[in-house]
Structure 1
Amino acid sequence: MPKTCFERLTLHGPTMGTRWSVTMDAAPGLDVQALRQALAAAVQQVDALMSPWQPGSAINQLNKAETGCWITLQAPILEVLAAALEVNRLSDGAFDPAVGALVDAWGFGPVRDAPDAAAIRAAARPASRPTHELLELDPATRRARKHAAMQLDLCGIAKGYAVDRMAAVLQGHGVAHALAALDGELRALGGQAGGPAWAVALESPQAGRRAAQGVIELRDLAVATSGDYRRFFDIAGQRLSHTMDARRAAPVRGEVASVTVLARDCMSADAWATALLVAGPGAGLALAQRLGLEALWLLRRSGQLVQLGLGRFGAAGAA
């Protein structure tokens, strides 16, 4: 049987305020233009449905819907909402998709570009029950309804889902060797055509510069990182991250610089990286151990970066 000759190709494009990209080993006969269009359409759909920055997005329609009223939604956003609510339940609220008002109040959303004390006080009112009990989904009829006023924000999970959609598009076009990426979320389909896994650099959490902290090898696996070093405010020497801790009604702060999670799908990796960042090294480590998650914490201690890893991120997990 003749050996298949693969060609290394890279496709990319803008989305969600950043860029998507795919590196792949393509077999002969692949319609690259059709694939590029399908990939762009997939991430564009996720953005159109789930971006709080898009006035007509489905998430904004749900946010504006009256409490107790059913609203019809497309299957993709229902899938992401269901996953978000499950992580909210399992993480004891560390991951909370109902942080939209807090994100806006602290100046990280589309409403304002700096913290607003009055808006923060208004957004800090505690909910009567956990978010997973206050948002009802009916997948059979593709509907959702809120049982209390809330402003949903899926930015802690939507990019990972977009990467999974890209992976599905690649598989649908017969691509078996690829690495799909969107910002800090990546998913590998198989390994490289020659056999090796895909080598992915783990970013060092240093604001204002890009440097590698280590390398992880991916084969049929996804990875996502959440941290406080990309989008933040520095107020009186205090770093305020764009990631919200709904339980404190404030941005994440503390010694955790970043959390990286491995999972079979990128949506799960994305959500759990956010959840563990919010939970902190103590509760987060216990949670990850209980659920069997593979995670790497980078902690700032005495001016040094300290690694704490589980699973493949243990002693030999990251080089």
Structure 2
Amino acid sequence: WMTLAVNSLYRECWMVKHLLKPVMSVCLTAFSLTGGSISEPVEVQTLFGYAMGTSYSVKLVSTLSESRSLQMGVEGVLADINGRMSTYLPRSDLSLFSAAAVNSPVPVDSKTIQVVERALQIAALTDGYFDPTVAPLVDLWGFGPTARQSVVPDLVELETLQAKVGYGALVVDTVAETLSKTAPRALDLSAIAKGYAVDLVADYLVEQGFSNYLVEVGGEMRFSGTKPDRVAWRIAIENPDSTSRSVFGVLEMADGAVATSGDYRNFFELDGIRYSHTINPKTGYPVAHDLASVTVVMALCIDADAYATAFMAMGKALTLQLAEENNLAVLLIYKDGASFRSVQSSQFTAQFGLIDI
């Protein structure tokens, strides 16, 4: 009985071994043909998160596993900029500079030096309508790190702080990497640091071997290449209406940066008057004109971001004049009674054609 049982078990084992052998051979062959793994499709992948007090997104042409490996690197770039240029963090470069005494050099990171230096250049090019020392006024009107009620400031307080605004008092030492001031000043780089962060994330993606991407931080964007079907990236320009979200026009881009500034999202109303977060450094008051939004297209996002803010402070006529003199691509949407109209610079028309409501 034991012999019969053993012989029977032996036959069953032999059958399993030889019947399964072809199946196993096929499986091994298929596995070897794929190099040990199933190839992933190359598609538009999206990374999303929060940094610098706002949201960010990165769209890039890659495989899913490749894009996932970039998330920490992207967030590291954004966290580094925020840690150095935030007005909310007490140990940031800007906070240390603002607290420093007059004529006392403050060591800062080379990135901060680079952004402040570019901010001063754009301040000069825009006749001071972009001014990185506007921080006290931004805070006074309730749009800075100090919590305030939505009220119109006292005139005496406003005039006192207005005297502390002026980029000419900043001193940048690029060799020693220090910032100092010849008069009481505080820095606010919120209108240029996000654009700079976009550029650094784009540089990081290129370093990792990617050439087709769209980087967006707080609405400021930079593009490169195309989607997998070789179609350009498309960006919708929003109608400057605080009561709804609708599309004014669409831009197609393969390379470059876009920044939009407007008065229709961050504001407060008092006695029927809207007070925008964009402060005119020359008056100390929020902008008060018919210009509702400005879209600027440039090579670098650091420049587009700063110019968009300057143009919102300037108003329509001065912006168009400066744009034509410097061959800048600018789209302006302005109020006309209860509706909106648009006007654009010659360079914008040359790049995108006529865009109208």
TM-score, normalization by structure 2: 0.83
On the 8 A contact 2:130/2:309 being kept in 1, the answer is yes
Partner of residue 48, structure 2: 12
Query: What is the match of residue 10 of structure 2?
Result: none
| Residues 42-72 of structure 1 deviation map (CA, whole Å, 9 limit, x = unaligned) | 1111111111122221111111111111111
1:123-134 to 2 correspondence within 5 Å? 123-125=161-163, 130-131=166-167, 133-134=168-169
1:148 is paired with a residue whose SS is: coil
Shift of the alpha carbon at 1:312? Answer: 5.2
Counterpart contact for 1:27–1:175, Cα < 8 Å? no
The CA deviation at 1:301 is 1.1
Instruction: Please say if residues 106 and 120 of structure 1, whose CA atoms lie closer than 8 Å, have aligned partners that are also in contact.
Output: no
CA distance in 1, matches of 2:157, 2:48: 38
Q: Contact 1:67–1:146 (CA<8 Å) still a contact in 2?
A: yes
Q: Distance in 2 between matches of 1:14 and 1:188?
A: 20
| 1:206-233 Cα distance to aligned partner (Å, 9 max, x none) | 1143221110111111000000011101
Equivalence map 1:105-254=2 (5 Å): 105-114=140-149, 115=151, 116-117=153-154, 119-125=157-163, 130-131=166-167, 133-254=168-289
CA shift digits 1:132-155 (9 cap, x unpaired) = x31111112211111111111111
**Bigger shift: residues 50-59 or 222-231:** 50-59
> 1:81-103 CA deviation, whole Å, 9 max, x = no partner?
01110010010011011110001
Cα distance, 1:16 vs. partner?
2.2
Which sections of structure 1, spanning at least 5 residues, go unmatched?
Answer: none
SS class of match (1:63): helix
Which one-letter code corresponds to 1:23 in the other structure?
K
Q: Judge conservation of contact 1:199–1:218 (CA < 8 Å) in 2.
A: yes
Partner of 2:353: 316
Distance in 2 between residues matched to 1:101 and 1:255, nearest whole Å: 25
| SS at structure 2 position matched to 1:300 | strand
1:106-137 CA-partner distances (Å, limit 9, x unpaired): 1111113334325423212275xx51x31111
Matched, 1:290 2:325: yes
Which of the residues 49, 52, 61 maps onto 1:25?
A: 61
CA RMSD of aligned residues (A): 1.8
TM-score, normalised relative to structure 1: 0.93
Structure scoring higher RCO (CA < 8 A, sep ≥ 6) equals 1
Q: What is the rounded CA distance, in whole Å, between the counterparts of 1:297 and 1:75 in structure 2?
A: 34
Q: Who wins on radius of gyration, i.e. which is larger?
A: 2
Amino acid at match of 1:17: G
1:311–1:317 Cα contact (<8 Å) kept: no
Q: 1:253 to 1:301 in 2, by over 3 A?
A: same
Aligned partners of 2:44 and 2:228 also within 8 Å: no
Number of matched pairs:
312
Q: How does 1:30-45 map to 2 (within 5 A)?
A: 31-45=66-80
Q: AA paired with 2:61? A: D
Give the aligned partner of residue 261 of structure 1: 296
The residue type equivalent to 2:171 in the other structure is E
**Can you list the C-alpha shifts for 1:163-190, whole angstroms capped at 9, x where unaligned?**
1111011111111110000122010022
User: Is the CA contact 1:216–1:317 (under 8 Å) kept in the aligned structure 2?
Assistant: no
Q: Is the 8 A contact 2:45 2:63 kept in 1?
A: no
The structure 1 residue matched to 2:108, chosen from 68, 73, 84, is 73
| Paired residue type of 1:289 | E
1-structure distance, mates of 2:195, 2:316: 22
Deviation at 1:289, TM superposition (A): 1.1
Residues in 1 aligned to 2:354 and 2:200: alpha-carbon distance in whole angstroms: 27
Once the two structures are superposed, the pairs formed by residues 91-106 of structure 1 within 5 Å of their partners are 91-106=126-141
Secondary structure of the 2:303 match is helix
For residue 34 of structure 1, report the CA deviation from its aligned partner: 3.3
Q: More helix per residue: 1 or 2? A: 2
Question: Is residue 216–residue 318 contact of structure 1 (8 Å, CA) maintained in 2?
Answer: no
- Cα distance in 2 for residues equivalent to 1:311 and 1:86: 24
**Are the equivalent residues in 2 in contact too, given 1:312–1:318 (CA < 8 A)?**
no
Partner of 2:315, secondary structure, is: helix
In the alignment, the residues of structure 2 paired with residue 171 and residue 317 of structure 1 have an alpha-carbon distance, to the nearest angstrom, of 32
